Structure 1
Amino acid sequence: MGLLTLAEAKAQLNIVTDTNDTEITAYIEAVTEVIEWHVGPVVERIVTEEIDGKGLYLLLLHPPVRSLTSLTPVLGGTAVDVAGLHVNGVTGVIRRKDGGSFSGGPWTAVYPAGRDAVPPTVNLAGRILLQHLWRTQLGQARGGLAGGNSDFSVTEPAPGFGYAVPNRVLQLLEPYKQPPGVA
């Protein structure tokens, strides 16, 4: 499952046939990964991660966190009762409700991450990015990529993605960006 439906993607690309559905689906998956690199999980998924930490809190690395399913010591031992934990869904910070500290890690945390719904601005950013990347399929005479005078020009590379992400997409994602070191 991706950030966009096949129908949304085809509407953005003004495609009415089923000829390119498989390829468009691959583009949707790629666009989803790029958008989620910037804003964290959008499409709900189960995350299993190993986290290190001792002290008053533990930090999950893929917020937004919907809930915590389990927290168990990697090296064996008793699982922590998640009912006694508070998870900040936005930041991914886990604290004990009794104010105690964590010891005995590293830990394996299992949790669903993602959003209840895709924010309209994030959906729009995904559709614009899809359209930008799809333009590589077109010849230069049909509006394909050539030169920098396009409405989709990219003046600065996006971290980790070179010039694949247009400025307008980055601007739309700005309010949803993850803090440094989280995504």
Structure 2
Amino acid sequence: MALLTLDEAKAQLNITGTAEDAELQAYVNAVTPVIERFVGPVEPREVTEAHDGGVRPVLVLRQTPVLSLTSVASVLTGGTAPPVEALVLVDPDTGEVRRRDGGYLRGLLQVTYQAGRTEVSPTINLAARILVQHLWRTQRPTRGGGLAGGGDDYSVSEPIPGFGYAIPNRVLELLEPYRLPPGVA
């Protein structure tokens, strides 16, 4: 499953030939991390991360949404970790994990899990298409012979921290319902 395919990008740009496929594929590849920075992983992937549990009732995974837990292991020599079957994923959107028996998670743990989505929302796909279109248009003059750039339809009212003016307002509006909760990145 891909966030955006080359064929979908070509359809958005009304490109029928193959002469620009290699260049356009670079744009397609580049939008995935940009979109995922706002909404979390879209394309499913395995994630392994260490958590210094100390002693606590809840563990919060860093990449959301979470599809499933794969394994939990103690990083410390002689340490123990609960089997993955003893854990429950309380909230896939926040990555909150607890023990089924209500006990505490202890020590330094290595957690492996699947993050991403089972399907790409049409709205997220459309945001990716529009972002590719915006980036593509900034490199080429419009067909009517106008100046290169996005124009009013692709305006960016203020820079986004970490992105500058690369994300048009319409993309941000489409992604807003899927945006990661504060503190999740």
After TM superposition, the score normalised by the length of structure 1 is: 0.92
The residue number in structure 1 matching 2:95 is 92
> Once superposed, which parts of structure 1, at least 4 consecutive aligned residues long, lie more than 6 Å away?
none
TM-aligned CA deviation for residue 150 of structure 1: 2.3
In 2, Cα distance between equivalents of 1:142 and 1:52: 56
Report the 3-state secondary structure (helix = DSSP H, G, I; strand = E; otherwise coil) of the residue aligned with 1:86. strand
Equivalent runs, 1:24-39 vs 2, <5 Å: 24-39=24-39
The residue number in structure 2 matching 1:23 is 23
Moved more, 39-48 or 15-24: 15-24
Is 1:172 paired with 2:160? no
Report the 3-state secondary structure (helix = DSSP H, G, I; strand = E; otherwise coil) of the residue aligned with 1:151. helix
TM-aligned CA deviation for residue 80 of structure 1: 2.6
TM-aligned CA deviation for residue 129 of structure 1: 0.5
Q: Which amino acid aligns with 1:111?
A: Y
In 2, Cα distance between equivalents of 1:132 and 1:144: 11
The residue number in structure 2 matching 1:144 is 148
The residue number in structure 2 matching 1:6 is 6
The residue number in structure 1 matching 2:106 is 103
Is 1:157 paired with 2:159? yes
TM-aligned CA deviation for residue 100 of structure 1: 0.2
Moved more, 170-179 or 16-25: 16-25
Number of residues of Structure 1 aligned to a counterpart in Structure 2? 180
The residue number in structure 2 matching 1:49 is 49
After TM superposition, the score normalised by the length of structure 2 is: 0.91
**1:113-145: CA deviation from partner (whole Å, max 9, x where unpaired):** 110111111111111111001112203635521
Structure 2: which 5+ runs fail to align?
A: none
* 1:78/1:22 CA distance change after superposition, 3 Å: farther
Structure 1: which 5+ runs fail to align?
A: none
Q: Does the CA-based 8 Å contact 1:2-1:28 persist in structure 2?
A: no
Is 1:59 paired with 2:60? yes
**1:61-84: CA deviation from partner (whole Å, max 9, x where unpaired):** 101111110111222334431111
Report the 3-state secondary structure (helix = DSSP H, G, I; strand = E; otherwise coil) of the residue aligned with 2:173. helix
Q: Which amino acid aligns with 1:168?
A: R
